[in-house]
Chains A and B, each alone.
Chain A
Amino acid sequence: MNDTVISAKNLSLTFETNDGPVHALKDINLDINKGDFVSFIGPSGCGKTTFLRCMADLEQPTAGEITVNGVSPTEARKSRAYGYVFQHAGLYPWRTIGGNIRLPLEIMGISKAEQDKSVQEVLELVHLEGFENKFPWQLSGGMQQRASIARALAFQADILLMDEPFGALDEIVRDHLNEQLLELWARTNKTIGFVTHSIPEAVYLSTKIVVMSPRPGRIHDVIESTLPTERPLDIRDSPEFIEIAHRVRDGLRAGHGDD
């Protein structure tokens, strides 16, 4: 297909450890299309984070092929194809929220005027207007993670890779951020790769749910969501939602095998 953004073919990654090789990923085949919201879900050790890190050029696959925007992950990284959000906000305590968002822009050598413009834009996207001159410790955990998302958005990458970004937050904050993330996704039309181990989160957010299983890390099932694009929080009580969630749960259980 023409609008394939990320494409993995027979992708494998084996870590050599003292206890012998660990197959973090084995024969992964997946295409992610432009504008998709793809969640990777699975138990720990299934390679979901490793897969995301391969897309970001933070891990090097040992076999197979992966392309991002049609080029290698290294080239994609250098051409600022993606923004990456980590599990912890990772804001620099000595920089204000504005300064933190500016950080990647400074590194990329973007002009001061452009920086100011971008900062205002992304602060508005994550609803943090007016917090530009606050320091991270003055913000709640959820707000810090929103600032971290704003930072990943600041340099206009079309792909957003998120590694359990809301994993450390409580349920209520998490619901709220999920809702905002969907709104942001609808407004920006970005392609999002999202690692999680929460079934409701995956089903609520995604257009495509990739269920993975561990030892070796493999794709067990790929579920195309039938939910409408417009998703209020209470869609989670609809029979359709419950059915998809059920299928994800079944996939996770089957993939888990005998342990």
Chain B
Amino acid sequence: MRNIGPILTVVAAIFVLWYAGAVALNASWAYDKAKRANVEITFSEMVADTMQQKKPKLPAPHQVGKEIWKTTGEMVAKGRAFSKRSLIYHSWITLSATLLGFAMGTALGVSLSVGIVYNRTMDMSVMPWVIASQTIPILAIAPMIIVVLNAIGISGLLPKAVISMYLSFFPVVVGMVKGLRSPDHMMVDQMKTWSATKGQEFWKLRLPSSMPFLFPSLKVAMAASLVGAIVGELPTGAVAGLGARLLAGSYYGQTIQIWSALITAAALAAALVAIIGVIQKVVLKRMGMA
């Protein structure tokens, strides 16, 4: 708990900057409004106005907080946690695509890395394609994935998960290739002196050795999965999910809604990464590698 001081300091600084930014960006609207009503407003009246506009350029933190509470806690209190107006509902839509995409991406990433480590042809040929796949902007390829999958009758959760997977397999491949190759020559020779099969070498030596490399990759992959799921929601025309809230918010200039969806997405990502962090700590500690 020694680092709680510095953390609070940074959070406080962010709030100060945020409020200052809200005042600066929303001031012109407040003055315009006063001008149209033919009244003079003082500086403090202007500041008060910038804190409570309906469609501010930059909503103040308390407005975002209120909106988040209204669409989460209050809905729960009313027993409508999964209504279409609830951020919990939208978060769950995005979270389910994120988790499925993350699982698929991790599986794909691990399988590709095993192929690369054990198969010479794959070693020479796969990596350039993996890297090339990540140079294509996801925004360009996401609509095509949705359209193509829709054409063969797949819609809903899976197309979004595929986009998540597309983003999340990459860090896993890179990390796991490094991890599976981390045992030194001596360890591999030692396996040979025991006439171990390739499978035994993999399960008993290479896979456990790769764990310290796997978890950092998973953290990056999880964050990328969430981005993928949100991006995947944009071209579907804003039906449900945090991405849909972002899109709907931007259609109607609902900046408060956009910011509350953004903050919720960030909190979700932080929570997911933190969960992996806890698992990492426990696993590596148990393995004597932490």
Contact = CB atoms under 8 A, between A and B. Distances in A.
A136 interface: yes
A104 interface: yes
B200 A84 contact: no
Interface residues of B, number: 18
B289 to A, nearest CB: 6
A78 B195 contact: yes
Contacts of A78: 195
B186 A90 contact: yes
A136 B288 contact: yes
A58 B194 contact: no
Given A88-B186, A103-B204, A56 B288 contact: no
Nearest to A87: B186
A147 to B, nearest CB: 13
Contact of B194 (A94, A108, A136): A108
B200 A107 contact: yes
Contacts of A155: 194
A86 B194 contact: no
B196 interface: yes
Describe B's contact surface by its main secondary structure. helix
B204 A94 contact: no
A135 B286 CA distance: 10
Interface in B165-201: 186-187, 189-196, 200
A135 B200 contact: no
Nearest to A80: B195
Contacts of B200: 107
A127 B55 CA distance: 77
B282 to A, nearest CB: 13
A31 interface: no
B190 A86 contact: yes
Contact of A84 (B190, B204, B205): B190
| Residue picked from B192, B204, B286, B288, most chain A C-beta under 10 Å | B288
B288 A86 contact: no
Contacts of B205: 92
Contact of B189 (A86, A92, A94, A104): A86
Interface in B59-113: none
Given A80-B195, A104-B194, 17 more contacts: A58-B192, A77-B192, A77-B193, A83-B193, A84-B189, A84-B190, A84-B193, A86-B190, A88-B186, A92-B205, A92-B208, A93-B288, A107-B195, A107-B196, A108-B194, A108-B195, A155-B194
Interface of A: 56-58, 77-78, 80, 82-84, 86-88, 90, 92-94, 103-104, 106-108, 135-137, 155
Closest 10 CB pairs of A and B: A94-B287, A93-B288, A84-B193, A104-B194, A107-B196, A135-B288, A107-B194, A86-B186, A107-B200, A78-B195
